[in-house]
């Protein structure tokens, strides 16, 4: 499976409320799994907090290989909320495993961090952030 196919399946699962599939897409060493150590706990949380989130559009803008079997991808998400649409941005670290690509972590930017044209976002916008927090 390609990185693009993996990301497409992950976003489809999120939009369909298939939170077990989203959970299964994480890498075993993902920092996220320190907060949600089992699938049922995450599914309960996600149903309460993410059930109303609708990613109306998304695309993988850029990809770069950072090490063997490691890719960073700049993801642009347009989220529909009750207040309208809003953009969110991620620099996702994806790892190729024996089971296929897995989501390890991401550095996120909001519209407060980047307010330009989403299609003009690039790696430097993430690289130049002073606090590179990965979730």
pLDDT in tens, 94-105: 999 999 999 999
Query: In this predicted model, what pLDDT tens digit does every residue of 35-89 receive, in sequence order?
Result: 999 999 999 999 998 877 778 889 999 999 999 999 999 999 998 777 778 888 9
Specify which residues 108 forms β-bridges with. Answer: 90
Set out the domains of the chain in order of their start, with CATH numbers. Answer: 3-127 (3.10.450.50)
pTM: 0.91
User: In angstroms, what CA-CA distances link 51 with 37, 39, 43, 82?
Assistant: 20, 16, 10, 13
CA separation for the pair 104, 94 (Å, rounded): 6
Total H helices, total E strands in the chain = 5, 4
């Amino acid at each position: 499976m390609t990185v693009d196919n993996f990301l497409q399946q992950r976003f489809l699962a999120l939009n369909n409320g298939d939170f077990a599939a989203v959970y299964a897409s994480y890498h075993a060493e993902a920092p996220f799994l320190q907060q949600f150590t089992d699938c049922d706990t995450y599914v309960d949380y996600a149903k309460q907090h993410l059930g109303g989130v609708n990613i109306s559009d998304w695309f993988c803008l850029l990809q770069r290989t950072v090490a063997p079997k490691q890719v960073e991808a700049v993801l642009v998400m347009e989220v529909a909320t009750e207040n309208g649409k809003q953009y969110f941005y991620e620099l996702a670290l994806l790892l190729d495993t024996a089971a296929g690509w897995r989501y390890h972590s991401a550095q996120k930017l909001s519209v407060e961090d980047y307010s330009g044209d989403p299609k003009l976002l690039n790696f430097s916008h993430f690289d130049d952030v002073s606090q590179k927090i990965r979730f």
